[in-house]
Amino acid sequence: MGFYLRLAWRNNLRNKRRTFLAALAVGLGLAALIFTDAISGGMLKGLIDTATGTFMGQAQIHRRGFLNTMDADLSVKDGPLLLGELRADPLVARAAPRALSFAMIASPSNSGSVMLYGLDPEAERGVSRLAKAVTRGDFLKEGGDSVVIGRKLAETLGVELGDRVVITAAAAGGGDLAQALFRVSGIMDSGSRAMDSDMAFIRLSRAQKLLGLGDNFHEIAVDFKNIKTAEDKASPFWKKYGGGDNEAKGWPELVPELAAAKDLNAFGIFLTAAILSGIVALGIMNTLFMSLYERMFEFGVLRAIGTSSWRMGLMVVSEAAVLSVLSSLLGMLTGYAACRIIGIHGLDYSGVDYAGITMLQPIRPVYRALQYWFYPSALFVFTLLVSLYPAVYAARMNPVKAMRRSL
Amino acid sequence: MDKENVIETKGVTKTYQSGEVKVHALHPVDLAVARGEFTAIAGPSGSGKTTLLNLISGLDTPSSGKVRLAGREICAMSQSELSDFRRDHIGFIFQAYNLIPVLTVEENVEYVLLLRGVPTGERDERVKRILEEVGLSGKHGRFPSQLSGGQQQRVAIARAMVSGPDIILADEPTANLDSATGAALMDMMRELNEERGMTFLFSTHDRMIMDKSARLVTLKDGRVDSDTRR
């Protein structure tokens, strides 16, 4: 085998320019695949990170039926106990309790409907980036009836820091309207339209009092130690916390549009790979056939002196293998370099909505081992398969016809 | 005496179809070459000598008749069997040398042994020995392009002989060489023929080869015109 690889290497070097151009063409195909995978992976990572990290969390636990009805009475079953268990669970990094209800918020000049959240500021800091999104004032400082709203809502209501607003919500235990006065203690600019214009945040204890929940709450937001757990339906987490009266959902269920976008992305990569494979196949075959026709006489001589059919084929496949390795090296280097260059500043699509999520950060390439072993390996195997056609042609070559002139 | 014949053709013909015209390149030819003979087939262009060599080597198949080589009928063999047969029984020397340009002298010669599955150590030994015999010691690492025409033909001779085939078929082996180099190579082949008892069959226009051959078969219009032993 070593002899044939040596022969293949030298044959590839016979026409350096052609070999380089063929390797470059195939390599650029691989580089494009690596780059596409890295960028789309980066975009997905950014979207998932934004969706889960900004406020939602990687998973949520609710009382069964709450998400459909938003009934204030449907608080998480055994919420405080469950929260303690979650915080002790080895799969879970952080957990934050929340109370929530539809509400009206009114200022002296305007009013609007909002989703009212009662939060534990300390627990929330670990799960969401709300505190960091507060650009003016404080994030639910202790004591007092403080409320944090988004910049757009503040503009709609015509309020500033320290101004008073009235929040009205349906309380648990009958749905009586409860009303309380709050003071705007923080204004945030998260970049998410929904959060900046349609949400209001108060302390959990204050929300429990307003809504008559006692020490109960409606939602537990969870971050895992490994985000993959959120997609792993086989994880014991779901059975443990999602059985009975409560339901546990990971981000793919909470934001199905994002899960669909991920599937679409995987299909996009597959499609890209399929198109590039076609181009690679034609490129490799063209190069091998050019090389074969150019050396037809030589192949005839080799056949004449007793080279068997399979050895003739082996020569062609070996040349394809060497070309594939050269192409892979070029492709990996080019793909990596492109990712590094784009990664310096990222692709800035901040503010653009995709799959219902507002992109908040520039898209940066995601490096995965798969890009540098699976794709090149697939290219190698694919090249060998493609080379079988010219290999069979060489193997079936009639020596006299190949040599054109006879002995 | 058939058993002693390493090459034997009986009633071998070859007809080519050229458009609607049939071209009879070879009329029935009967030829027997005994083991160890040093034979030249001569004749003008179009006389059929090349066609005959193609048929004898199994590179081409006759329209009719039979070819026996080293005691085996080759016309019924498959391409695969023919390839193996050529590998094991025939050495080729071409007019234009036809060495593999990306292989060194040593590798060109070694290749034939590789095809036969000869172990590495034995390959090295045999290659070294044959290169010494053809006067190419010290040139084993050179590529064909770094050698003169005469030296390249010596490599081709070494390649043809290294596996110890029954028959060496040589197509105009001196056609691309100057007369002195050609004569020297012919002398060398004659010596190897006498030392090793290999059968040589040349196709040639060259008067010098005809003179140095032990047997001269001349073809004319696809038929054996004369057959002379010296």
**Chain A: closest CA distance from residue B54 (Å):** 6
- Please check whether residue B159 touches A, CB under 8 A: yes
* B107: chain A residues, CB-CB within 8 Å: 3
The interface residues of chain B toward chain A in range 108-127, judged by CB-CB distance below 8 A, are 111-112, 114-116
Cβ within 8 Å of residue A115, ≥6 positions away: A100, A101, A102, A103, A198, A199, A200
Q: How far is CA A362 from CA A44, A121, A214, A349, B37, in A?
A: 12, 28, 43, 6, 84
Contact B50 A309 (CB under 8 A): no
Mean pLDDT of chain B: 90
- Has residue B182 got a pLDDT over 70? yes
**Chain B: closest CA distance from residue A318 (Å):** 15
Q: What is the pLDDT of residue A406?
A: 38
Q: Which residue has the higher pLDDT, B45 or A37?
A: A37
Q: How would residue B3 be classed by pLDDT, with cut points 50, 70 and 90?
A: very low
Q: How would residue A404 be classed by pLDDT, with cut points 50, 70 and 90?
A: low
Mean pLDDT of chain A: 91
* A298: chain B residues, CB-CB within 8 Å: 98, 100-101
Burial class (CB in 10 A: 0-12, 13-18, 19+), A216: buried
Two tokens at A274?
């399929």
Q: How do residues A174-196 score in pLDDT, each as one tens digit?
A: 778 899 999 999 999 988 888 89
Percentage of chain A beyond pLDDT 90 is 68
Contact B171 A406 (CB under 8 A): yes
Domain boundaries, chain B: 2-229
Domain B2-229 maps to which CATH number in 3.30.2320.50, 3.90.850.10, 3.20.20.370, 3.40.50.300? 3.40.50.300
Q: What is the pLDDT of residue A405?
A: 44
Cβ within 8 Å of residue A194, ≥6 positions away: none
Nearest-by-Cβ selection for A11 from B88, B102, B203: B102
Q: Which residues pair with residue A223 across a beta bridge?
A: A94
Among all residues of chain A, which has the CA nearest to that of B87?
Answer: A306
Cα–Cα nearest to A304, from B15, B53, B124, B17? B53
Percentage of chain B beyond pLDDT 90 is 60
Distance (Å, rounded) from C-alpha B184 to C-alpha B182?
5
Identify the residue among B94, B112, B167, B204 best suited for mutation to test binding to A, counting A beta carbons within 10 A and taking the highest.
Answer: B94
Among all residues of chain A, which has the CA nearest to that of B172?
Answer: A407
Domain boundaries, chain A: 2-51+259-403, 65-244
Q: Give the N- to C-terminal CA distance of chain B in Å, as an integer.
A: 19
Nearest-by-Cβ selection for A301 from B91, B98, B107: B98
Q: What value does the mean pLDDT take over residues A345-372?
A: 85
**Chain A: closest CA distance from residue B25 (Å):** 13
Amino acid at A201: F
- Has residue B142 got a pLDDT over 80? yes
The set of long-range contacts for A172-180, using a CB threshold of 8 Å and a minimum separation of 24, is: A172/A72, A172/A73, A172/A75, A172/A211, A172/A212, A172/A213, A173/A73, A173/A212, A175/A72, A178/A210, A178/A211, A178/A212, A180/A145, A180/A206, A180/A210
The interface residues of chain B toward chain A in range 77-106, judged by CB-CB distance below 8 A, are 79-80, 83-88, 90-92, 94, 98, 100-103
The interface residues of chain A toward chain B in range 189-208, judged by CB-CB distance below 8 A, are none
The interface residues of chain A toward chain B in range 299-318, judged by CB-CB distance below 8 A, are 301-309, 311
Q: Which helix (H) or strand (E) holds A178?
A: strand A177-188
- Are the C-beta atoms of residues A104 and A112 closer than 8 Å to each other? yes
State the Rg of chain B over Cα: 17
Q: Which residues pair with residue A347 across a beta bridge?
A: A363
- Are the C-beta atoms of residues A19 and A343 closer than 8 Å to each other? no
Cα–Cα nearest to B169, from B122, B127, B204, B195? B204
Q: What value does the mean pLDDT take over residues A17-30?
A: 92
Q: What value does the mean pLDDT take over residues B200-220?
A: 92
- Please check whether residue B60 touches A, CB under 8 A: yes
The strand pair at A164-170 and A177-188 is best described as: antiparallel
Among all residues of chain B, which has the CA nearest to that of A302?
Answer: B100
Phi and psi torsions of B36, nearest 5°: 90, 0
- Please check whether residue A45 touches B, CB under 8 A: no
- Has residue A82 got a pLDDT over 50? yes
DSSP-derived 3-state class of residue A151: helix
Among all residues of chain B, which has the CA nearest to that of A308?
Answer: B83
Q: How would residue B20 be classed by pLDDT, with cut points 50, 70 and 90?
A: confident
**Chain B: closest CA distance from residue A377 (Å):** 28
Q: What angle do CA A399, A402, A405 make, to 5 degrees?
A: 95
Residue with tokens 């080019």: A334
Cβ within 8 Å of residue A389, ≥6 positions away: A285
**Chain B: closest CA distance from residue A306 (Å):** 4
- Are the C-beta atoms of residues A114 and A201 closer than 8 Å to each other? no
Q: What is the pLDDT of residue A115?
A: 95
Cα–Cα nearest to A187, from A157, A207, A208? A157
* B79: chain A residues, CB-CB within 8 Å: 309, 396, 398
Q: What is the pLDDT of residue A166?
A: 96
* B84: chain A residues, CB-CB within 8 Å: 306, 308
Q: What is the pLDDT of residue A1?
A: 67
Q: What is the pLDDT of residue B1?
A: 41
Contact A407 B80 (CB under 8 A): no
Q: What value does the mean pLDDT take over residues A247-260?
A: 91
Cα–Cα nearest to A354, from A267, A282, A264? A264
- Has residue A204 got a pLDDT over 50? yes
Give Cα B220 to chain centroid, integer Å.
Answer: 21
